[in-house]
Amino acid sequence: MNKPKIVITMGDPSGIGPEVIMKALKHKDVYDMCSPVVIGDALRLEEAGKIVHAGLDVRSINDVEEAKCEFGTVDCLDLKLLKANHPFGVVLKESGEAAYQYIKKAAEIVMDNKADAICTAPLCKEALHNAGHNFPGHTELLAHLTHTPEVSMMLVSPKLRVIHVTTHIGLIDAIAKIEPGLVERVISRGHNVLVKRGMKNPKIAVCAINPHAGENGLFGYGEEEKKIVPAVKACQAKGWNVVGPLPADTLFYLAGRGDYDMVVAMYHDQGHIPIKVLGLESGVNITVGLPVIRTSVDHGTAFDIAGKGIADEQSMVEALRQAAELAPRTE
């Protein structure tokens, strides 16, 4: 079976994206599991390669089909958007525009079946907005570019999988948005991903919104019974192994020790904090529900260390591994 071709977007060029890409592509096992092609600026990758002492050549190409994907040489679909010595570690409109163009090109390539999956380096939301692209992040941007009405964010670490009902909105707005239909659709998307990965009947646990799952109405305004219980019952009626709503504080402990295959979090921080505490460097972000496979590092642009050559590449390596496992194979 052919190795999947994965396009890697360079992310915000002022952040650590170029560095973690060059570090990740020093790992020969990355090339053993996939055929990587970077969408970005070859000049920036060369600069990042020198900073991290990668010892890799960078080949500038004009079409993804020109890529040779040979270990030791990084193929870069070169959009030539940056000048030499583009600043590291600062929020720039030009960087936001470049990050947008990289992901736009990657989406076009995968939608045209010229590659099998997208793996994204981090972008800066402020820079993206300064460039006129008002999206909360990659998840919503890719949904827009692929004309997908609804997607979900799943975070994966070695000990935990978490899918989110809501993500980049305020907590009050998140609680207002949660309703049984949305919760059921999110559970379904997570269930489908796990089944595709070979789990016949995955164990899925659903978080409550309030402390102690509302304590039978003592906390909150009955959100668990109104917003979550009907969705859980609907999934159970399909024969799925779904339980909840359960108190989040103990649920994540149980899931971390292996009692559940996936946790359904109700809002951003409820799901993100456990993943990042368990290991930010090995976490992966997967967008579920797109017509294409998309994985990402589970960290930001880290402007404070950008350009210093000290960023850890393990999340990028793991994101590439996850993309390779999830991707279909082209002929």
Whether residues 18 and 141 share a domain: the answer is yes
pLDDT band at 101 (very low <50, low <70, confident <90, very high): very high
pLDDT digits (tens, 9 = 90+) for 34-74: 999 999 999 999 999 999 999 999 999 999 999 999 999 99
Task: Look at residue 280 in the predicted model and tell me its pLDDT.
Answer: 60
Task: Look at residue 282 in the predicted model and tell me its pLDDT.
Answer: 67
Average pLDDT over residues 291-315: 93
What's the whole-number average pLDDT of the chain?
A: 93
Residue 184's alpha-carbon distances to 30, 175, 187, 307, in angstroms, are 36, 15, 5, 43
What's the pTM value of the predicted model, to 2 decimals? 0.84
Whether residues 260 and 296 share a domain: the answer is no
Whether residues 66 and 160 share a domain: the answer is no
Whether residues 9 and 87 share a domain: the answer is yes
Whether residues 13 and 139 share a domain: the answer is yes
Whether residues 41 and 163 share a domain: the answer is no
Average pLDDT over residues 188-210: 92
Task: Look at residue 329 in the predicted model and tell me its pLDDT.
Answer: 52
Whether residues 100 and 119 share a domain: the answer is yes
Which residues make Cβ contacts (< 8 Å) with residue 45, sequence separation at least 6? 10, 18, 21, 22, 38, 58, 74, 76
Whether residues 1 and 144 share a domain: the answer is yes
β strands within the chain, DSSP E: 5-9, 35-40, 57-61, 73-78, 117-120, 152-157, 160-164, 203-207, 241-246, 262-265, 284-288, 293-297
Whether residues 208 and 311 share a domain: the answer is no
pLDDT band at 136 (very low <50, low <70, confident <90, very high): confident
- Residue 163 C-beta-side C-alpha neighbours within 13 Å: 25
Whether residues 143 and 6 share a domain: the answer is yes
> In this model, does residue 326 exceed pLDDT 90?
no
Domains identified in the chain, total number: 2
Whether residues 156 and 219 share a domain: the answer is yes
Instruction: Write out the residue range of the structural domain in which residue 111 sits.
Output: 1-148+290-331
Contact 204, 261 (CB under 8 A): yes
Which domain CATH number covers 233?
Answer: 3.40.718.10
Contact 313, 54 (CB under 8 A): no
pLDDT digits (tens, 9 = 90+) for 239-259: 999 999 999 999 999 999 999
Task: Look at residue 331 in the predicted model and tell me its pLDDT.
Answer: 44
Whether residues 188 and 142 share a domain: the answer is no
Q: What is the DSSP string of 11-24?
A: --TTTTHHHHHHHH
pLDDT digits (tens, 9 = 90+) for 75-89: 999 999 999 889 999
